[in-house]
Amino acid sequence: MECQCEKNDSDDAVSGWWLNGNSVQMGAFTVVGYLLYRFSQTLPALIRWPIRLFCSLTGLSALWSWVSRLVGTLRGIQSLFKWLSRVWKFVVAFSSKFKWLVAVVRAITGSSGDGAESGTTPANILNLLSDLSGGSCPTKPGLRLILLGPTGGGRTSLADTVLGSSETKSPMSPLMESTKQRSVVDGREVTVIDTPDLLGPSLGNKKRAKEALRSLQLASPGPHAFLLVIQAPGSSMGIDQDATQAIQATLELFGHEVTGHVIIVLTHADRLGPRRTVDQLLDVDTGDLRRAVSLCGKRPELVDNRPDCPAEAQSATRRQLLGRVMEMKELRGHFIHELQRSEDRIREELLADMASVLARKLGRT
């Protein structure tokens, strides 16, 4: 079927898509009138009233007043949407920071989202808070440890095990100064001070003394335990590290009172064969390890500190060592060096002298 369209009809249809001359003239006249009206706002009164009269007679004032109100309304709606978006962003950010509150309320009320019952004991609630905070919220008293021992004994890897670190950090060069690391382990803040080789002659006496006091300062107000880290006898292809000499060097640096806070940690247990125990090492010992144990008066610990040690074994080692330190803390508290006591006495004497001077000054006024 063919379309029968008149030529005049098609011309009218096409012409309807375009503005005719009258429409363009009216639009231009409207724009010019509005510009004259706005321009009249800045003119003196004698010149302003003819232009206002012209705009009033042509109807431009009412038209553009309506347009101005419409534009103002749209701007108000835009400002409202901007304000609502800011409020929404604030609510989302605020709720994300306190999302743990919902879980705590569920734990207290005994309800959960899937209908399962949850414990409402204080221990469960504290564990929940610790888990939600990523383990960064300690809920138990903290522990402070200083690691001692010769180079190659495994201090750094043992520090990673105690702190529960998943990344193994193998230093490219021997440690030259004491470093402090801190982590939350099972709801308890654990601070570990790793030291350079304070027990050997490689640093020199002045450097050894300085780093020994620095390690105590990093563990302020005092460490709960000194972990003396040495290789287990028979684990090295060369000469075994002398445990007795290490104990004696520790006593020279920190005083004889440190013996109550020293735990010998024998490393590289994986090189001794399966199921090797401390008792077996003491049985075959030629006397060096026994003398070291008699000097510190405590049973040593045998650990496997290799980098690829299974996570379960590392957790067991961590629990065992921290359990020993907790027992030592409950029995003896933290260690205080003789120089720290002297510093405290000097500080108290200085405070008393300053108080006397201030009292005399106040008495004169």
Q: Which pLDDT tens digit goes with each residue over 222-274?
A: 999 999 998 888 776 555 678 888 889 999 999 888 888 999 998 888 887 77
Q: What was the pLDDT predicted at 223?
A: 93
Q: Name residue 82's amino acid.
A: K
Q: What was the pLDDT predicted at 355?
A: 85
Q: What was the pLDDT predicted at 144?
A: 94
Q: What was the pLDDT predicted at 119?
A: 47
Q: What was the pLDDT predicted at 62?
A: 63
Beta strand 179-185 with 188-194 is antiparallel
What span, in angstroms and rounded, lies between the C-alpha atoms of 195 and 336?
18
Q: What was the pLDDT predicted at 324?
A: 92
Task: Tell me the DSSP string of 110-167.
Answer: T--TTS-----SHHHHHHHHHHHTTT-S--EEEEEEEEE--TTS-HHHHHHHHHT-SS
Q: What was the pLDDT predicted at 307?
A: 77
Q: What was the pLDDT predicted at 305?
A: 81
Q: Counting Cβ atoms within 10 Å, is residue 22 exposed (0-12), middle (13-18) or buried (19+)?
A: exposed
Q: What was the pLDDT predicted at 67?
A: 58
Tokens of 166: 């998943």
| Prediction pTM value | 0.58
- Grouped pLDDT means (10 residues each) for the chain, 365 residues: 48 48 62 61 57 63 64 80 84 65 57 46 51 54 90 85 70 77 88 90 87 90 92 70 86 89 88 77 77 84 83 88 91 85 80 84 77
